């Protein structure tokens, strides 16, 4: 065999997928939804990790792209068995999930994943096993950061007292009582499976039954707090959320990037979420703790800018929000590849 023939054979073997994703007309065990924006460098890594899992599960993969200016959609469409959808604009995380759900088809569960993570072998099996327990509607995995350390991904339901505690202490005093922190900081909480209030929306497996009962994601939250709202609505519908540490994903936390505007939106959407589920007086108190949070950190110019935004509700309309695409030759109005 010549060197050229050897290289061709090796390249052919390496290009054979480990597992195939099922099509839209086939029954799936799990439908995987990844909402993308500027994730050209991330898509292949996620899909490669999912192909390994596809050897044990019938997976349907939907990439819903929020009008990325780079070649994110092209990278997804290079995979013939991926359903690649242009959402019709930059609709935000909730809007992207809702757009993808239109192509979900028949499946036992839906796995929502950030595009800038990879799934460790066996993670989907562990999530699915936990989901079989009575009353469980959502399961979240252990999330490791780029260096392999646990991320603080678990949360308690927001309250005035918890917001006050986080404003004063931040991530310090990790052993403080749960009523003084929305963040679940204790390391032992990430070592065992247990029910939780909610978790960051980077990865969550939802039973199809629960997804049907909960309904669509609330698109008033362009980014941030949409998952807080979704988990709360799951509890209201009678479904528990569990943390499963034997299911592991790795999150680069690069995503679509960070900006001052997004940090401002994060702070404001927490107030919007609280206002949705609480009365005016309690929301006013919660708003006050959000202001306090920025005051205690105002030596940082970014926090001074966030403080001005949080304290001035009339400025909130200028924050990032859903925008429809103006169209063009590369925009297909939300249809799949």
* pLDDT for res 174: 81
Q: What is the CATH number of the domain that holds 225?
A: 3.90.550.10
CB contact set of 141 (below 8 Å; sequence gap of 6+): 123, 126, 127, 203, 243, 244, 245, 247, 248, 249
Q: 19: pLDDT confidence band, cut at 50, 70 and 90?
A: confident
Residues 200 and 294 in one domain: no
The whole domain housing 307 covers 260-320
Q: Is residue 297 part of a domain?
A: yes
* pLDDT for res 172: 84
Helix axes 260-277, 301-310, angle to 10 degrees: 40
**Helices of type H across 132-259:** 160-169, 208-214, 226-236
* pLDDT for res 325: 81
* pLDDT for res 284: 98
Q: 337: pLDDT confidence band, cut at 50, 70 and 90?
A: low
Query: For tokens 């052919």, what's the residue?
Result: 12
Q: Is residue 332 part of a domain?
A: no
Counting the structural domains of the chain, the total is: 2
Mean pLDDT of 220-245: 97
Residues 107 and 78 in one domain: yes
pTM of the model: 0.90
Integer angstrom CA distances of residue 30 from 17, 57, 267, 337: 18, 7, 33, 20
* pLDDT for res 312: 96
CA gap 219, 108 in Å, rounded: 24
Q: Is residue 102 part of a domain?
A: yes
Residues 265 and 135 in one domain: no
Residues 129 and 203 in one domain: yes
Residues 34 and 140 in one domain: yes
Q: Is residue 328 part of a domain?
A: no
Quick one: CA torsion of 214, 218, 223, 229, rounded to 10 degrees? -50
* pLDDT for res 123: 98
Measured in whole angstroms, the distance separating CA 163 from the mean position of its chain's CA atoms is 22
Which structure tokens are listed for 68? 């990325």
Residues 307 and 184 in one domain: no
Query: For tokens 């939300």, what's the residue?
Result: 334
Residues 148 and 175 in one domain: yes
Residue that is last in its domain, among 224, 251, 278: 251
Residues 75 and 217 in one domain: yes
Residue that is last in its domain, among 191, 224, 251: 251
Rounded percentage of the chain residues whose pLDDT exceeds 90: 84
* pLDDT for res 173: 83
* pLDDT tens for each residue of 237-256: 999 999 999 999 999 765 44
Summary mean pLDDT of the chain: 90
Backbone angles phi, psi at 103, to 5 degrees: -110, 15
Residues 105 and 221 in one domain: yes
Q: Is residue 231 part of a domain?
A: yes
* pLDDT tens for each residue of 59-96: 999 999 999 999 999 999 999 999 999 999 999 999 99
Residues 158 and 201 in one domain: yes
Q: Is residue 34 part of a domain?
A: yes
Residues 239 and 293 in one domain: no
- What is the separation, in whole angstroms, between the first and last Cα of the chain? 39
Checking if the pLDDT of 9 tops 50, the result is no
Q: Is residue 142 part of a domain?
A: yes
Mean pLDDT of 22-41: 95
Residues 273 and 160 in one domain: no
Residue that is last in its domain, among 233, 251, 269: 251
* pLDDT tens for each residue of 169-178: 987 888 889 9
* pLDDT for res 326: 67
* pLDDT for res 106: 94
CA gap 231, 35 in Å, rounded: 18
- Residue that wins the pLDDT comparison between 98 and 174: 98
How many CB atoms sit inside 10 A of residue 241's CB?
23
Mean pLDDT of 301-323: 95
Q: Is residue 335 part of a domain?
A: no
């Amino acid at each position: 065999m010549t060197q050229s023939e050897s290289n061709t054979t090796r390249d052919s073997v390496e290009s054979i997928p480990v597992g195939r994703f099922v099509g839209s007309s086939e029954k799936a065990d799990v439908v995987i939804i990844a909402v993308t924006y500027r994730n050209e460098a991330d898509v292949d890594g996620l899909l490669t990790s999912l192909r390994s899992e596809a050897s044990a599960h019938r997976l349907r993969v939907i990439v819903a792209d929020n009008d990325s200016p780079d070649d994110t959609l092209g990278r997804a469409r290079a995979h013939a068995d991926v359903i690649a959808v242009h959402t019709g604009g930059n609709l935000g995380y909730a809007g992207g999930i809702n757009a993808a759900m239109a192509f979900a088809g028949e499946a036992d569960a839906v796995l929502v994943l950030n595009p800038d993570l990879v799934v460790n072998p066996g993670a989907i099996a562990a999530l699915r096993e936990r989901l079989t327990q009575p009353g469980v509607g959502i399961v979240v995995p252990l999330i490791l950061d780029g260096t392999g350390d646990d991320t603080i991904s678990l949360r308690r339901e927001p309250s005035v007292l918890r917001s006050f505690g986080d404003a004063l202490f931040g991530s310090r005093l990790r052993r403080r009582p749960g009523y003084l922190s929305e963040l679940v900081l204790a390391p032992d909480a990430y070592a065992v499976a247990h029910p939780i209030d909610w978790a960051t929306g980077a990865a969550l497996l939802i039973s199809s039954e629960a997804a049907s009962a909960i309904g669509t994601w609330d698109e008033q939250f362009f980014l941030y707090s949409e998952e807080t709202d979704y988990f709360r609505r799951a509890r209201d519908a009678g479904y528990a959320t569990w943390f499963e540490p034997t299911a592991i994903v790795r999150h680069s936390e690069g995503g679509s990037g960070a900006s001052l505007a997004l940090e401002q939106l994060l702070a404001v959407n927490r107030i919007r979420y609280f206002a949705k589920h609480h009365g005016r007086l309690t929301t006013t108190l919660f708003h006050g703790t959000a202001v306090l949070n920025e005051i205690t950190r105002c030596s940082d110019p970014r926090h001074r800018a966030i403080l001005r935004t949080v304290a001035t509700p009339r400025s909130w309309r200028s924050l990032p929000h859903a925008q429809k695409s103006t169209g063009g030759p590369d925009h297909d109005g939300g249809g799949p590849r």
